[in-house]
């Protein structure tokens, strides 16, 4: 099975943790190890860890907390609130656009 | 998962779950309910009257950018008859405020509103860069916060406006309630949830986003593609607020209504008359005429400490005693220009103040 190509975008100041670049094209495996020995489809929780390991340049604690994104970071899946898409359990598809926006900066 | 349809129009695809209600709604319904709720907040609190001049405190960040856009939209849609201005404070933070002010200047064009920028340098003779290079990164947020509050009033007085609106949102207010509880600050707890505050002679100040969740403000800016600036202040954020904020975000993750619940708790809080009687009455600063609960307002005290090389003079008891031990303020001390609030009868019985310009 070929890798999934995704568009990932950071906003609200999060881009500063990712080489100060807002838009990234990434490819991730469609099936990934899950829990003890099993395998499963790549989901957003996997993507968050993958981004931390492969793209994030500094201060991981501002992006990831307790196995998912830090509270206060909004996530959109193809321009829809991830809360409508199963949050971290959303299974990634070829061509998905995932946006992470921090709400934690001043106004 | 199959796409869900909007809980309001039952037609278009839902794109957002509202934290306040849990409803899943589409983009057009989201814009409409967000704007209508702000309109309802404004009309229920009777914040404005026809012909008012209103300054929008604009930092270039998400909240004030969305506020400027929504105020313009509502002013046109509901014919409030307001003259809107953008008012920005330049704290003098290189690499932070200079960049965000560029955003405000673009907003000025985009929203076609006059813009006034007032700098700490102009008003106090000190930029935050210079404050931090003098006192370090401890207490610098105290200086910045006190200076900004007064600068906004003074900028508004220059513009001759009746009213300042700020982008404080529901999350900010809930944080402040929590902070005031943790600090035991009864006086602030009693007033921090007020939608509109007005000292005896200062300009009205209000928060049209009092009930607007930060999540919705950010989503609104995202879907409207509004141009805002989002960088952390380079001089470390207010650590105490940071703790309250992280705690609130955890609460919100567990139960989204927590934010509005905390605001309602704050509103329901009443200070006993006996306690209220012990609180200091508002007066005006003998040096600069700004409202104050002591002879000297906080900004004048902080500025005197800076000017006399004792930056903790207005922050710690030890610093204050050290300053007092050195005698009264010298005659040539730099002071803040005397404050004349708009639309007020000025009885100028203040002592003459020497002005020193740097």
- ipTM associated with this complex: 0.93
Which residues of chain B fall below pLDDT 50? 345-358
- Determine, yes or no, domain membership for A88: yes
Q: Which two tokens stand for residue B295?
A: 């002879």
B175 plus B308 within the same structural domain: no
Longest dimension (CA), chain A: 45
B185 plus B289 within the same structural domain: no
Q: How far is CA B77 from CA A20, B49, B113, B120, B145, in A?
A: 38, 15, 17, 36, 34
Answer yes or no: do B62 and A84 touch at CB < 8 A.
Answer: no
In this prediction, residue A26 has a pLDDT band, given cuts at 50, 70 and 90, of: very high
Q: What is the pLDDT of residue B68?
A: 97
B333 plus B208 within the same structural domain: no
Q: What is the pLDDT of residue B236?
A: 65
- CB-CB: which of A16, A71, A101 is closest to B252? A71
* Closest residue in chain B to residue A65, using alpha carbons only: B250
- Determine, yes or no, domain membership for B28: no
- Determine, yes or no, domain membership for B94: yes
Coil/strand/helix, residue B272: coil
B224 plus B284 within the same structural domain: no
Q: Which of B208, B236, B263 is the last residue of a domain?
A: B263
* Count of beta carbons in the 10 Å neighbourhood of residue B253: 14
Using CA atoms, how far apart are residues B192 and B188, in angstroms rounded to an integer?
6
Q: Which two tokens stand for residue A67?
A: 């196995």
B88 plus B216 within the same structural domain: yes
- Determine, yes or no, domain membership for B257: yes
Q: What is the pLDDT of residue B350?
A: 40
Q: Are A11 and A101 in contact (CB under 8 A)?
A: yes
- Determine, yes or no, domain membership for A107: no
Query: Which residues in chain A are closer than 8 Å to B148, comparing Cβ atoms?
Result: none
pLDDT tens per residue, range B144-184: 999 999 999 999 999 999 899 999 999 999 999 999 999 88
B326 plus B230 within the same structural domain: no
DSSP string for B152-182: HHHHHHHHT-SEEE----HHHHHHHHHHHHH
Q: What is the pLDDT of residue B198?
A: 73
How big is chain B by its Cα radius of gyration, in Å? 22
Q: With the CA atoms of A41, A47, A53 and A55 taken in that order, what torsion angle do they form, in degrees rounded to the nearest 10?
A: 140
Q: Which of B205, B229, B263 is the last residue of a domain?
A: B263
pLDDT tens per residue, range A37-60: 788 999 999 999 999 999 999 989
B256 plus B307 within the same structural domain: no
Q: What is the pLDDT of residue B46?
A: 93
Using CA atoms, how far apart are residues B109 and B112, in angstroms rounded to an integer?
5
**Is the minimum CB–CB distance between A38 and chain B shorter than 8 Å?**
no
CATH of the domain at A18: 3.10.20.30
B57 is in an annotated binding site: yes
Query: Which residues in chain A are closer than 8 Å to B171, comparing Cβ atoms?
Result: 103
B196 plus B335 within the same structural domain: no
Domain housing B298? 280-358
Q: Which two tokens stand for residue B253?
A: 């993750």
B52 plus B119 within the same structural domain: yes
Total tally of structural domains belonging to chain B = 2
**Is the minimum CB–CB distance between A37 and chain B shorter than 8 Å?**
no
B154 plus B289 within the same structural domain: no
CATH of the domain at B51: 3.40.50.620
- Residues within 8 A of B (CB atoms), A 57-96 only: 70-72, 74, 76, 79-81, 83-86, 90
Q: What is the pLDDT of residue B283?
A: 85
Q: Higher pLDDT residue, B187 or A62?
A: A62
Answer yes or no: do A102 and B230 touch at CB < 8 A.
Answer: yes
Segment (H or E) for A81 = strand A80-81
In this prediction, residue A24 has a pLDDT band, given cuts at 50, 70 and 90, of: very high
Q: What is the pLDDT of residue B311?
A: 81
Share of chain B above pLDDT 90, in %: 58
- Determine, yes or no, domain membership for A16: yes
Using CA atoms, how far apart are residues B186 and B280, in angstroms rounded to an integer?
12
Domain housing A40? 4-102
Answer yes or no: do A84 and B16 touch at CB < 8 A.
Answer: yes
* Closest residue in chain B to residue A75, using alpha carbons only: B219
B244 plus B294 within the same structural domain: no
Longest dimension (CA), chain B: 75
B98 plus B142 within the same structural domain: yes
B125 is in an annotated binding site: no
Query: Which residues in chain A are closer than 8 Å to B57, comparing Cβ atoms?
Result: none
Total tally of structural domains belonging to chain A = 1
B331 is in an annotated binding site: no
Q: Are B342 and B157 in contact (CB under 8 A)?
A: yes
Share of chain A above pLDDT 70, in %: 95
Q: What is the pLDDT of residue B241?
A: 80
Strands A97-102 and A38-41: unpaired
- Determine, yes or no, domain membership for B259: yes
Query: Which residues in chain B are closer than 8 Å to A80, comparing Cβ atoms?
Result: 13-16
Chain B residues bordering chain A (beta-carbon distance below 8 Å): 1, 4, 13-17, 24, 59, 61-65, 167, 169, 171-172, 214-215, 217-219, 222-223, 230-233, 237, 245-246, 249-250, 252-253
Q: Are B185 and B244 in contact (CB under 8 A)?
A: no
Q: What is the pLDDT of residue B200?
A: 52
- Determine, yes or no, domain membership for B183: yes
> What number is the average pLDDT over the span A81-93?
95
Nearest to B64 by CA among B221, B239, B223, B233: B221
When the pLDDT of each residue in chain B is averaged and rounded to a whole number, the result is: 88
């Amino acid at each position: 099975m070929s890798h999934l190509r995704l568009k990932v975008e950071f906003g609200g100041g999060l881009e500063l943790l990712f080489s100060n670049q807002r838009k990234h094209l990434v490819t991730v495996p469609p099936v990934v190890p899950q829990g003890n020995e099993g395998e499963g489809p790549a989901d957003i929780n996997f993507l968050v860890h993958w981004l931390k390991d492969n793209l994030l340049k500094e201060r991981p604690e501002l992006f990831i907390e307790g196995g998912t994104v830090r509270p206060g970071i909004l996530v959109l899946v193809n321009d829809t609130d991830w809360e409508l898409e199963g949050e971290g359990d959303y299974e990634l598809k070829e061509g998905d656009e995932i946006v992470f926006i921090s709400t934690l900066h001043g106004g | 998962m199959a796409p869900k349809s909007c809980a309001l129009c039952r037609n278009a695809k839902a794109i957002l779950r509202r934290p306040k209600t849990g409803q899943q709604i589409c983009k057009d319904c989201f814009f409409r309910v967000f704007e209508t709720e702000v309109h309802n907040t404004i009309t229920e609190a009777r914040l404005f009257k026809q012909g008012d001049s209103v300054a929008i405190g604009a930092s270039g960040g998400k909240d004030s950018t969305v506020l400027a856009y929504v105020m313009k939209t509502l002013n046109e849609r509901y014919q409030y008859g307001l003259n809107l201005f953008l008012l920005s404070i330049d704290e003098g933070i290189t690499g932070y405020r200079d960049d965000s002010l560029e955003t405000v200047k673009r907003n000025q064009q985009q929203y076609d509103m006059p813009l006034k920028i007032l700098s700490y340098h102009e008003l106090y003779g000190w930029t935050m860069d210079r404050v931090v290079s003098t006192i370090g990164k401890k207490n610098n947020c105290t200086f910045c916060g006190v200076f900004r509050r007064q600068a906004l009033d003074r900028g508004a007085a220059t513009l001759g406006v009746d009213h300042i609106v700020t982008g404080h949102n529901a999350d900010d207010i809930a944080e402040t309630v929590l902070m005031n509880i943790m600090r035991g600050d009864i006086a602030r707890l009693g007033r921090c949830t007020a939608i509109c505050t007005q000292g005896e002679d200062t300009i009205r100040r209000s928060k049209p986003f009092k009930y607007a969740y930060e999540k919705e403000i950010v989503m609104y800016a995202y879907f409207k593609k509004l141009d805002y600036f989002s960088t952390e202040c380079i001089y470390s954020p207010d650590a105490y607020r940071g703790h309250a904020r992280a705690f609130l975000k955890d609460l919100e993750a567990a139960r989204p209504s927590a934010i509005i619940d905390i605001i309602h708790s704050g509103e329901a809080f009443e200070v006993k008359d006996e306690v209220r009687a012990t609180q200091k009455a508002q007066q005006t600063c003998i040096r600069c005429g700004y409202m104050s609960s002591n002879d000297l307002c906080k900004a004048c005290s902080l500025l005197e400490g800076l000017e006399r090389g004792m930056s903790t003079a207005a922050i710690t008891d030890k610093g204050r005693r050290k300053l007092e031990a050195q005698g009264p303020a010298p005659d040539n001390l730099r002071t803040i220009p005397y404050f004349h609030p708009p639309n007020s009868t000025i009885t100028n019985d203040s002592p003459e103040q020497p002005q020193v310009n740097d």
